Structure 1
Amino acid sequence: MTSSARHQGGFTILELLVAFAIMAISLGMLYRASGGSVRAVGDMEHYQRATVLAESILAMRDAIPEEGWAEAGQVAGFDWRVASAPYPTEVNSPTATPLHEIRVVVSWPQGGRIRQLELATLRPQKKPTQGGARL
């Protein structure tokens, strides 16, 4: 037999080891990428629920009493608090409605850390009713 007849067509052990190493690295990268996507979806779900809660709390009041609005609570693993402060404007008319800046802060534990969402908006102060009583 000649030397060309003894050569068999196939992969050597070294070629197989290199191919397996490349495949293992590729699978590891795919695993990390898909794991990051799943984690991001979970983070986004919590953030979305916190946003809905904050918007619901803001929707509780259309106008703020003169003394302001301060409240806190807990719902479904989310802690929330509301605080208001008078919002200064350059309008000094007696008919101008005073404004209050409202801040809603929603926080929740996630991944060993405390995450937080803060929304801020302006709301008018409640107008006194006839006879001095307030709504």
Structure 2
Amino acid sequence: MTLAHWMILVAALLPYLCTAAAKAGAPGFDNASPRDWQARLTGWRQRADWAQRNHFEAFPAFAAAVILAEMAGAAPGRVNALAVAFVLLRLAYTGAYLANRPALRSLCFALGFACVIWLFALAL
């Protein structure tokens, strides 16, 4: 497995880490009705829930871009570097989201999205 493949795995786990953060130790968590409970979250827990939703949205394009770039024979070092950069930017995105820093969060999102576009471009 390449480093980029490991980054796909890490990116797949990011939403679950965010949802665990939102739920861990939270008062009144109801596993029988988790979506209703999540809809009532506030503060950093609400932002952790929103971050996990965005991670799920960003994941498919990232995974596809890595796989296509590798299938096209793109330079492995470049694919690995972009995959690592994407994951690091997504971690920074999560931190910015939890800290309620929207401008930084948007910058991290945009740079991560640029990594995905670059990976697709490598597949051309």
TM-score, normalized by length of structure 1?
0.27
Flag the structure with higher helix content: 2
TM-score, normalized by length of structure 2?
0.28
Structure possessing the higher relative contact order (Cα contacts under 8 Å, 6 or more residues apart): 2
